[in-house]
């Protein structure tokens, strides 16, 4: 059954792979933040084709599996001469998938701005760009930061899927260790416990952040 000696032997290798997992999470989150904002703005656009496209994109991406989207990026794009490394394909896939969720978060923040703010900006002759940059976004983003934090944690937990397109992150390392020794128990349990500890402690941090933001 459980073998402590073996568990301690493989622990360093799993911890090294954690670096790839964490960097993939943050790069993908950055992609999601940028694309998510663009999707929200595109959906609000007066130019009908653009808003329809953004709405359709969000609906389609949200109702199809991330795994299949990753396969699509990793296996279909090379057909058209665009070969991506597993890391790049992975962060694009994960980032695009969660950008559709973050688009909803931005939307919630923007819609909570009282109409008076828009009217005041118009009365003060602000340009559209300045209205967004100086009035709307600075007020709509801080309240939704905890929600974004929760999505960061969700994305962190989802990174094992990237092992399906051969990215050697923590889960792929565990799989390889397991297939070498025919012992999956220790490797997979360590991975599970690592994810649990890291995601649970960061969700407690987000909860504290939420309380502090509410106090202000």
d(CA 174, CA 13): 9
C-beta of 5 vs 79, nearer to other proteins: 79
Binding site for other proteins (CB under 8 A): 1, 59-60, 62-69, 71-72, 75-76, 79, 157-158, 160-161, 164, 171, 175, 178, 183-185, 188-189, 191-192, 195-196, 199-200, 203
C-beta of 136 vs 153, nearer to other proteins: 153
Residue 166 beta carbon to other proteins: minimum distance, rounded to whole angstroms: 12
C-beta of 132 vs 188, nearer to other proteins: 188
* Structure tokens that stand for 6 in this block: 């073996």
Q: Are 29 and 102 in contact (CB under 8 A)?
A: no
C-beta of 41 vs 177, nearer to other proteins: 177
Torsion of CA 9, 13, 18, 21, to 10 degrees: -130
Residues with Cβ within 8 Å of residue 4, at least 6 apart in sequence: none
Residue 164 beta carbon to other proteins: minimum distance, rounded to whole angstroms: 6
d(CA 92, CA 29): 10
């Amino acid at each position: 059954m459980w073998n402590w000696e073996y568990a301690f032997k493989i622990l360093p290798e799993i911890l090294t792979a954690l670096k790839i997992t964490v960097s993939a999470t943050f790069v993908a989150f950055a992609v999601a933040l940028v694309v998510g904002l663009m999707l929200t703005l595109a959906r609000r656009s007066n130019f009908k084709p653009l808003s329809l496209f953004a709405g359709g994109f969000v609906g389609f991406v949200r109702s199809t599996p991330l795994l299949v989207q990753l396969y699509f990026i990793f296996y279909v794009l090379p057909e058209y001469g665009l070969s991506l490394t597993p890391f790049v394909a992975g962060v694009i896939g994960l980032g695009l998938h969660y950008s559709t969720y973050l688009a909803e978060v931005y939307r919630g923040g923007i819609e909570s701005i009282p109409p008076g703010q828009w009217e005041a900006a118009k009365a003060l002759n602000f340009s559209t760009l300045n209205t967004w940059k100086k009035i709307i976004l600075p007020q709509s983003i801080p309240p939704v930061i905890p929600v974004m934090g929760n999505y960061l944690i969700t994305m962190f937990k989802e990174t094992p899927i990237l092992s399906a397109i051969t990215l050697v992150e923590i889960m792929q390392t565990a799989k390889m260790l397991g297939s070498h020794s025919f012992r999956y128990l220790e490797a997979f349990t360590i991975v599970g416990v690592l994810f649990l500890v890291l995601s649970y402690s960061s969700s407690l941090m987000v909860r504290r952040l939420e309380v502090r933001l509410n106090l202000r």
